[in-house]
Structures are given as C-alpha cells and as structure tokens.
Amino acid sequence: MSRRRSGGCSGASVRAAFVILTVALSTVLGTCSVDDISSSNELFASSSSSSPTASSRPARSEQLLLVSSSSLTTERSRRTPLKMSVEQELDAARAAIQRAARRRRRRRRVVDPAGRGSGNVTTADEWFEAGVDHALVASVYRNPAAFHRSYREMERRFKVYVYEEGEPPILHAGPCKDIYTIEGRFIEQLELMAPPPPAGGGGGARTSDPARAHAFFLPFSVSKMVQFAYRPDTYDKTPLRAIVADYVRVVASRHPYWNRSAGADHFMLSCHDWGPEASRGHPELHANGIRALCNANTSEGFRPGQDVSVPEINLYTGDMPRQLLAPPAPPLASRPFLAFFAGGRHGHVRDLLLRRWKGHDPDVFPVYEHEHEHSHGRRQQDGAPLDYYWYMRRARFCLCPSGYEVASPRVVEAIHAECVPVILSDGYALPFADVLRWEAFSVAVPVADIPRLREVLERIPAPEVERLQRGVRLVKRHFMLHQPPERLDMFNMILHSVWLRRLNLRLNR
C-alpha cells in the first residue's frame, strides 16, 4: 500500500495542511534548504520506475513532509545517541589507544632545540605531564601517549560491577592496618564509590547495572579468610579454596555473567601470600579470571599478561608514615649511605643478604637483621632516635629483598623516600610494568649476585643514580594511597591494570 493511499489524503485541503506542517517543521529545525529538497526529490525519483508518470509521483507537499520527517529523525538521533554495547565500547577504546600509539611512534625521533625528545605526550594535560621534562617521561613510561589515552578512556568508559552477595568480615571487608592493607583499602574504596544515577553522569568506575559493566569484582578477602577460617599451624588451605568455590557458585547461579564468559571478565584482589592458592578453589577463576595479586611470582603461576601485580604496602596505623610524607626528601648530596636494609630473616633471599652483608660496613652500607638494631642509641639533631625511615631517606639505594614470597613493602616505602629501589628477587612481576619501565627508576639484581651487591651498586655512575632518582620522583604518585582516591594514584593504577586486561592490549613501544 502506498503512502498516499494509507494516508487517505487526496483533496486540496489535506495537501495544504501538509504544506503548513512542513513549513513549520522546517522553520524549527532549520535544516532543509532548497538544495536539500531538490536533491531529496532526485533521490526519491531514482527509486521509482524508470519512466514515472505524473500521477505515480508523490505530490510536492508530501515530498516536503518526507524530507522534514527525515531531518527530524536525524536531529533526534544526534541529540540522543544510541548507547554502545560493552564490546563496542572496548573496541572504541582500543582504536583510540592504538591511534595515540601510532602518533607517538611517528613522532618519537623528533628532537627539540634543547636536544630532548619531544612528541611523546600528545596532549598538554597538566595532570599527566605535571611540568616534567618530556625526555624523562619517555624514559619512564613505555608509551606515554598510549598510556595517557588509555587512562582517559578508562575514566570515560570503564565500569565495574561489585557483587552484593555475602556479608563481612570475609566479604565486602578487608584489613586496613597491616601488611595486607591494600586488600582492605581497595575493597573499601570500590564499595564506597557510589554508582552513577540511572540517568547517567557522575560517579566513578562502579556501576549498579551489571549489563553495562566491563568487569565484575569478587569482593572477598583472603586475609580475612585466613583470620577466620584457617586452623593455625596446619598449613591446610582447603577452607580458603572452599570459600572461594562456594562464592563463585553462588554468583554464577544468581547472575548470568560468570557463565557467559567462564569468569574471564571477573577479577579478585588479594595481598595475602596465599591469594594464588585460594584462587585455585574454582578452576575457571584460576584459569580464566583476572587475579590481582601482591604475590606476583611467575615461577608459581602468575601470568603477567592476564593477572595484575599489586604493590604491597604496610600501613601500621592505616596512613602513610609521616616520616615518609615530610617534604622535601633529601637530595643525593645529603644521602651518606650507599644502601640500606633492616628486617627479619624471612626466606632464603634475606638469609643470603644478611649472612653476607650484616654489619659489614654500617657507616656506608648499613644492613641490619632487625629494625631496632640500626639505632644503637644514636639520635638525630633534634634528639629523636634514628628510625627506619630516617635511614631510607638518607640512602641512595634501598634494598628490597623478597621475604617468604616475592613481594616486599620496602619497594613502595623506598619510592616514597625517593630512594632508588634495588629489587632482590627472582620471578617477581613488578606492579604496573605494562605501563612503567622499572629499569628507569630501580635496579634489579639477581639473587645469585647478592655476594657482589656492593660492587654492583658502586659501579653505577652518579649521573645515572640522579636519573634513577628523578624517575622515582616521577612515579611516586602511582604508589600513593588517598582517601578518597585521586587521579593516577595506586587505587586507580590497579583499576587501570584491570582495564588493560579487559582490553587485551599491551602498551609497549
């Protein structure tokens, strides 16, 4: 049935009404010029028979109405764009990041008049550059332009759904005042993050609409499982695996999202040494899920391309020690110690370090077995005793050996003290390494070279040490915890690491 017949309008009065309505619509929209109407007539005519008769063509008034209706539809779609699906959003983000990376590669050989690399960051956003020399940015970040775009895309798009099943203390809670602090703080901050209203806008990464989520968070705390479900001195991790298995079965039975991806878009976070073991409670979580772990040991199954390495931080009071936050950190000229370590004999790496270097040269290379040993009754100028952080702020290098597991809170403490971290570990996948080039602000020494450790550090030229310290100063913002979280801090860098896993994208050069 034709449009003319369906309308039942063949008289002159009806045509006049069409013309009036068309003129009114055109006036409101302001989109239909004479040329538009003319070309629309040609398009309409081309779809009719090859030799149309006058009676078979639509009346002029109907042509005008059709054009105006089409313009109205276009205008509406322009004002209310269709929502992209989750996968379309991920595709769009990948494309934007890849474009930024290509621009960066094209410009990487450009040199400015001062002889420094330029073109590494494609925008002048102060929150990212912060007035830092581009050459330093280029040396510390694997691909500054790609990271900048990826972070912006995360802020714009990334949504995480937090499962509501379960009760504290094992679910929706975690430790906030010990060596596993980041586990509790991450859960807390994500839980406190108010989802945006249904109409959109506002809020952070958390969403209350699982259909819009790019990732799903399993809010259990392995540290709390150990506290409440583990039988001391048994080393039996079965209760931990059972809790994880039960929780995954619950959310999989109540929601379609786990079974849809076999857990590939779900993530957990644990800073306890037994986090990797707890993840084995559910085969799909262990095989397919994103495991954010402090114990990021590649020799024990950590997968850098799929899992997320989380910095370990020890907050005895829940806040950063004031000694590390007191600005400014001393420059290299005011750091008399080549390197510093104080700690217990936990694990074979520390045992080797202490057997070789404990008490060897406390005036230049102080290595102590216990944190209280380094004082020896000595005091600062203001009379306060020399504490652990005083030494860190006066050493050029801070030794960060593995303990029973690969991670050490000394890495973060060293960065806060602007002391170059010396990573003494085998198999440690360092945090945020898909964004940061750790060799630009730290020194990695194989465990086998610990007997030569002092010689290795003394051979590093002073200009190189200064460059490493500038790198430490630049990345410090990524290892700070804020409440509420701030842009580029540790909480958001962990989220960004999960975001990259969902994109399945590498930001290498």
pLDDT at 400 over 70: yes
440 & 499 share domain: no
Count the Cβ atoms, other than its own, within 10 Å of residue 193.
18
* CA–CA gap between residue 380 and residue 158 (Å, rounded): 48
Domain count, the chain: 2
**CA-to-CA distance for 193 and 203, rounded, in angstroms?**
7
CA 331 to chain centre: 31
**Helix residue ranges per DSSP H, 49-172:** 60-79, 86-107, 126-129, 134-140, 144-157
**pLDDT tens by residue, 8-35:** 443 433 333 333 333 333 333 333 333 3
Question: Is 371 part of any domain?
Answer: yes
Looking at the domain assignment, is residue 265 inside a domain?
yes
Under DSSP, the state recorded for 446 is -
State the CATH number of the domain containing residue 344. 3.40.50
In this structure, the strands spanning 337-342 and 308-309 are: unpaired
- Structural domain contains residue 23: no
Considering the domain architecture, whether residues 328 and 297 belong to the same structural domain is answered as: no
- Does a structural domain hold residue 60? no
Indicate whether 99 belongs to any domain: no
Residues 190 and 290 grouped into a single domain: yes
Percent of the chain with pLDDT over 70: 74
Task: Please give the model's pTM, rounded to 2 decimal places.
Answer: 0.80
- 10 Å CB burial of residue 453 (0-12, 13-18, 19+) is buried
Q: Are residues 191 and 228 in the same domain?
A: yes
Element (H, E) at 422: strand 420-424
How does pLDDT run across 408-423, given as a tens digit for each residue?
A: 999 999 999 999 999 9
For residues 269 and 298, state if they share a domain.
Answer: yes
Same domain, 338 and 310: no
Mean pLDDT across 441-466: 98
CB burial of residue 265 (10 Å; 0-12, 13-18, 19+)? buried
In a domain, 117, yes or no: no
Are residues 264 and 243 part of one domain?
Answer: yes
The rounded distance, in Å, linking the Cα atoms of 14 and 10 is 7
| Same domain? 372 vs 462 | yes
290: enclosing H helix or E strand: strand 290-293
What is the distance between the alpha carbons of residues 61 and 17, in angstroms, rounded to a whole number?
9
Domain span at 230: 156-315+487-504
CA distance 132 to 474: 8
Q: Are 434 and 470 part of one and the same domain?
A: yes
pLDDT for 385 equals 47
Strand partners for 217: 162, 267
Name the token pair of 119. 């073109």
Distance of alpha carbon 120 from alpha carbon 112, whole angstroms? 12
Does residue 141 belong to any structural domain of this protein? Answer: no
372 & 286 share domain: no
One domain, residues 430 and 336: yes
Q: Is 1 domain-assigned?
A: no
Q: Do 283 and 386 reside in the same domain of the chain?
A: no
